[in-house]
A = this chain, B = another copy of it.
Amino acid sequence: MSGRLYALSTGPGAADLITVRAARVLGALDILYAPAGRKGGDSLALSIVRDYLGERTEVRCRHFPMSADGAEKEAVWNAVADELAAEVASGKQVGFITLGDAMLFSTWVFLLQRIGRQEWLEIVPGVTSFAAIAARSQTPLAMEQQSLAVVSCTAPEADIARALAQHDSLVLMKVYGRFPRIKALLREAGLLDRALMMSEATLPGEQCWRNLDEVSDERPLPYFSTILVNKRLESEQ
């Protein structure tokens, strides 16, 4: 059997929100690479897939630094990309797991940029965190002619404000550490009562706030917190 690399999306958190395909692939891997060390999020990815792994699958954790040092990150991405390609070349079935969907705000994209499009690569898509939040909160994302913007709260505030003005529905990712400013932007846009926030969707610690005005700016939020804005939300929620 020739070597293959699978980029496997684990979905938002609950183990049974992984796809049937990802579950099957996990059971046949020689080696599973798991990112590690980002405030507990990546050990989460590993915990999601653990029950699906084959008995002979070797798990290798790789640390991706969060530092602002571009050269340090580049070196790690290069090294891991080389390692994945080398294992495939030696005939192994290799997996790399990533929370949510592999192609959206994921470490995997940096590896893909180095590995390039390859015949021996299969990317298995997954359920995004925002689809899970919409489902759990029973709040639609978009319909008919509406548009949805998925924005990182690390983006410039002017860009976030513009997106809030222009789209019917928005997902604000990476709220952690930025809640007070995002809440102020929502208030300025008149959208505070059209927003909800969810943390750790589909996990045992899931929390949902339907009134962001009542969430203290001082309160430390869980790392996986996302805001959903839908301008058609009923204001009483």
Interface residues of A (CB under 8 A from B): 7, 9, 11-12, 14-21, 23-24, 101-106, 109-110, 112-113, 117-118, 121, 123-128, 131-132, 134-136, 138-152, 154-156, 159, 162-163, 166-167
Contacts and interface: CB of A to CB of B under 8 A. Distances in A.
Nearest to A134: B103
A24 B16 CA distance: 9
A132 B121 CA distance: 14
Nearest to A20: B16
B21 A16 contact: yes
A140 B103 contact: yes
Nearest to A132: B125
Stoichiometry, copies per complex: 2
Contacts of A9: 131, 135
Contacts of A166: 159, 162-163, 166
A69 B117 CA distance: 46
Given A20-B23, A126-B131, A127-B127, A144 B152 contact: yes
A146 B109 CA distance: 13
A148 B147 contact: no
A138 B116 CA distance: 8
A152 to B, nearest CB: 5
Contact of A104 (B11, B12, B148): B148
B135 A124 contact: yes
A37 B16 CA distance: 31
A104 B142 contact: yes
Contacts of A17: 19-21, 124-125
